[in-house]
Amino acid sequence: MAASVFTAVPRAPPVAVFKLTADFREDGDARKVNLGVGAYRTDEGQPWVLPVVKKVEQMIANDNSLNHEYLPILGLPEFRANASRIALARFTWVGTAGNSLFQIGSVQSLGGTGALRIGAEFLRRWYNGNNNTATPVYISSPSWENHNSVFVDAGFKDIRTYHYWDAAKRGLDLQGLLDDMEKAPEFSIFILHACAHNPTGTDPTPDQWKQIAAVMKRRFLFPFFDSAYQGFASGSLDKDAWAVRYFVSEGFELFCAQSFSKNFGLYNERVGNLTVVGKDTDNVQRVLSQMEKIVRTTWSNPPSQGAHIVATTLSSPQLFAEWYDNVKTMADRVLLMRSELRSRLESLGTPGTWNHITEQIGMFSFTGLNPKQVEYMIKEKHIYLMASGRINMCGLTTKNLDYVAESIHEAVTKIQ
């Protein structure tokens, strides 16, 4: 038999978080705990379909006016409008009709990752000149690993990091961040986490965001926000969108990638939106016209089910209120787990300080555990977490909190 044409293809390394989940599933130890997966879990350790989502799914199933025709290339208009509305609140969305008062448009995408990719592809083609692959793209250190990959795959050649995490104080390195922005070439692109920074869970305060915005405006830097946890982080849509809205109020043109995986629990529906903020309608319409070309050769048309669920929920005051309550239920459970874990570690006298557990926000916490301690947790205690020490707070339950806290205490005490 002739050799395969694919013989020279190397095997790619597995995606770390999914490999961790696979290892967890294969582990037969009854004590095992999965703190790696990036999805919400109930106190019983189970996925949760939001009650409002179940209700809306039934409404959609009974709606005889719906069909399976293609959506517009840019997506379901009522989804796009409502998605941008919750991100930006008082600002106005651009529809298909021209209006000089409007300055915001959007593109439905395959999750937040799809929004990032469409935005990255557009910026590479049309920002700071045509096909300027040399425009520097700055990503926080650390950051969600996909940020780097998305921009590399979009063709950018100069991916840089900016200071963010101060390991010594287990908090934000604001001065390092500002210094990096001061030194960045004009028109550089900065990927900013709108809230619940992944993986650290550490966000700038409003005053710190104002300092960041001031430098970015003076240095002509382009903000590309990634908003994956609005409402889920603090329980407040407004608080979690504060940074994005402030930048818009300061006159920035920007992109904001939105994901509805976490705050709607629609992980496998791949519901995302790329909000575009421009100076006026003409600019936004031209941007959307180019994004339409990119989408056409990427996924051509987006799926409708998840978009209909989100649009139906956000456009009804009653359903919106139910959804908000569901989101707060998830956020409150995460906040409770943070408080309980910190309390237990401090009660055990675990070496170090643990206030960062409750000062951080959102799904993830950067524990401060080093790789050797993480390895001990996995191999000896059957507690699965990322090598960086990041844990998903949703993996904690009232049933495993004591075991996890005692295991962290043991790891920190025994392994240096």
One digit per residue, the tens of pLDDT, for the chain of length 416 reads 788 999 999 999 988 888 998 999 999 999 999 999 889 999 999 999 999 999 999 999 999 999 999 999 999 999 999 999 999 985 544 444 443 344 899 999 999 999 999 999 999 999 998 989 999 999 999 999 999 999 999 999 999 999 999 988 889 999 999 999 999 999 999 999 999 999 999 999 999 999 999 999 999 999 999 999 999 888 899 999 999 999 999 999 999 999 999 999 999 999 999 999 998 889 999 999 999 999 999 999 999 999 999 999 999 999 999 999 999 999 999 999 999 999 999 999 999 889 999 999 989 998 989 999 999 999 999 999 999 899 999 999 999 999 999 999 999 999 88
What gap in Å lies between CA 408 and CA 43, rounded to an integer?
A: 20
Q: Check 173, 180, 203, 226 and give the catalytic one.
A: 226
Q: Check 203, 262, 323, 381 and give the catalytic one.
A: 262
Is 144 one of the annotated active-site residues of the chain? Answer: yes
**The tokens of 186 are what?**
């004009």
Q: Check 93, 144, 165, 354 and give the catalytic one.
A: 144
Is 226 one of the annotated active-site residues of the chain? Answer: yes
**The tokens of 130 are what?**
């045509």
